[in-house]
Structure 1
């Protein structure tokens, strides 16, 4: 169950991270946001990043093997990267609609799956 909570919390965390890091690039579509200066955009991004950490910190604490979780640090990091790239890809293609998924992305994701395999191999 801790594995599921860890991945779920990391997924929610990465939704906030994606919008904190890349969401402001979509602000030009909205009149109010397009008038903000860089300081305003940074403050909004920091506000979103706060919620990223609200979910990310408990995910890692729950999932870490020295806290009774199922994952070591390497495993937690690889899970986070795969979740991050998955969430980012879905947002870029379906929410931001800025990019299309290409064959090279699929090859890259296959290599990430291979990385997960090797990191989890005992």
Structure 2
């Protein structure tokens, strides 16, 4: 299982041909208390860089972009009733959606742990 990051503070945890997408801990800390998550629809086809979801906090609304191209296979329904899960644990209970990865080669252009750590210094 590999996790990659975008410069826009999304992560994608690769589980076989599926990616689990959400925002990083750094991003949720910057946003503050999250009050609403606009989830994508299952079956939505995304190109890398497309707006996939929106996270609203007490400070701002932030677009969540697709780190890779693919089709949304699942959404985290729990966020509809409890958007604060993104603050509590953005990588476990606070993931936003899962995507069937169309082109695994697109993952090569994303940041690894060290690259993302450098970005957020």
* TM-score, normalization by structure 2: 0.27
Normalised by the size of structure 1, how large is the TM-score? 0.27
More helix by share: 1
More strand by share: 2
